[in-house]
Structure 1
């Protein structure tokens, strides 16, 4: 991908990227590494993480479920033990879940909020002392559906809306420490998310065609297009930007 010309700032900085085994997370890990950062890519699947690590020598990986009790501290410790600092935390790990109200279960709802709200919160808490030292940045990955309604995904959308409000509240709370907190809200982006949701291929293809047809720019996004903006939000050139939700969805939220 093309790295912004001012990204020399990332040289020898340290970024932690969750959900780094595919899609936006993999693209973001590669983008930071190409910009000079050391990257700890975190995900549940070691085989997928290994493919990410092979893309650049500055990417190290750690297989972990961020929802596990001791995972947040273990992830931060792994980065600090290796590079002695943390500059950027990218809370990207997530799952798309089709769950109409008629099919909603307590466990299904809890799983979404554990992944999209609780785990990022505890990871940010564990990173806090190190981000204070570096005047670092937290970037949360939301979704267009964090602020745009859609049928059949109410609890997914609600969990992303919660993440957006966390972003705003943390930005206020942490401003005096020099830590900036922002979020990206991508629209439908090419990734393994729909496949991971267990949808049959004909339905998956139909969803993709329908999404592309509803996007004013006429197509789904590419992971690199989102990763570019993760770097821009983390860059000190954006030093006066905090508490913002940047939607990058080809104009879908306008419809």
Structure 2
């Protein structure tokens, strides 16, 4: 399938580490031109150093005007945008009793608002080339997560955007799908500000609940992102594919 990705132009947000890094490398290895976007310039350059098909754009996608700047950078460099991977996101451990207005606002700005504005900015190019959007959700976008309800709610919102955009854009030939990974090795828990001992305990608890007996790898998730985006998947839209080792079956 990936032969049809040759010379496609792909934007991947959150590409400095984890799933985003693996996704940028997977698309570049399939022959695509990749714009790797993220807040940390050094991390992006480490990603780009692994493949010549990856260019970098350090950017905070929650900044006013940043989504349009990202799309303009890709289109200005390669003349088109074929795939938008809305991968950048944050996890927030926030029990109801500790709910903080600014933390909720910041979480939604990154997990919901920024992907929406990126999709809006990319839309003229996606329509012109019958391109595709892949939104990265989570198993917890469609199952409860006590103690992190706002994170789960933000991913549920992204899944509903996926379905709604798929219907809205179908007449233009633009496909919109989502991938919902389960617990995957990444820096997300550290970035959420959790101490190492808490992270270790969470990972052990998660692993114990996963039927396949382990957490996922970024490369496993990236494989399915590429498959959802591949132009050969011509009749697939509006779907949320869960890849979590069977966790949601429990």
TM-score band, normalised by the shorter chain?
over 0.9
Match of 1:76 in 2: 71
| Structure 1: unaligned runs, 5 residues or longer | 1-5
**Alignment of structure 1 residues 35-54 onto 2, 5 Å:** 35-54=30-49
Q: Secondary structure at the match of 1:56?
A: coil
TM-score, structure 1 as length reference: 0.97
Query: How far does the alpha carbon of each residue in 1:108-154 deviate from its partner, in whole angstroms, 9 at most, with x for none?
Result: 11111111111000000000000011100000000000001121010
Kept after mapping to 1: 8 A contact 2:5/2:231: no
Number of equivalences = 250
- Shift, 1:216, TM fit: 0.5
3-state DSSP class of the match of 1:217?
coil
Unaligned runs of 5+ in 2: none
Following superposition, the deviation at residue 235 of structure 1 comes to 1.1
User: Are the counterparts in 1 of residues 12 and 20 from structure 2 also a CA contact under 8 Å?
Assistant: yes
Moved over 4 A (4+): none
For 1:29, the equivalent position in structure 2 comes to 24
Could you say which residue in structure 1 is the equivalent of 2:151?
A: 156
Taking structure 2 as the reference length, what is the TM-score of the superposition?
Answer: 0.99
For each residue in 1:73-130, what CA deviation from the matched residue of structure 2 results, as whole angstroms up to 9, or x when unmatched? 1000000110000000000000111000011111111111111111000000000000
Q: 1:14 aligns with which of 5, 9, 16?
A: 9
Residue 182 of structure 1, aligned match among 146, 171, 177: 177
2:82 aligned with 1:119: no
Distance in 1 separating the partners of 2:231 and 2:16: 27
Q: 2:101 is matched with which residue?
A: 106
User: Retained in 1: the 8 A contact 2:162–2:238?
Assistant: yes
CA contact (8 A) 2:39 2:59 kept: yes
Question: Residues 76-95 of structure 1: matches in 2 within 5 Å?
Answer: 76-95=71-90
Mapped to 2, the partners of 1:241 and 1:13 lie a distance apart of 18
> Aligned match of 1:231 in 211, 226, 231?
226
RMSD of aligned alpha carbons: 0.6
- Give the Cα separation in 2 of the matches to 1:121 and 1:61: 21
Find out whether 1:57 has 2:52 as its counterpart: yes
Aligned with 2:235 (options 236, 240, 248): 240
Q: What secondary structure does 2:127 align onto? A: helix
What is the match of residue 140 of structure 1? Answer: 135
Listed one character per residue, the Cα deviations across residues 193-236 of structure 1 (whole Å, up to 9, x for unaligned) are 00111111111101001100000000000000000001100112
Q: Report the Cα distance in structure 2 between the residues aligned to 1:195 and 1:106, rounded to whole angstroms.
A: 22
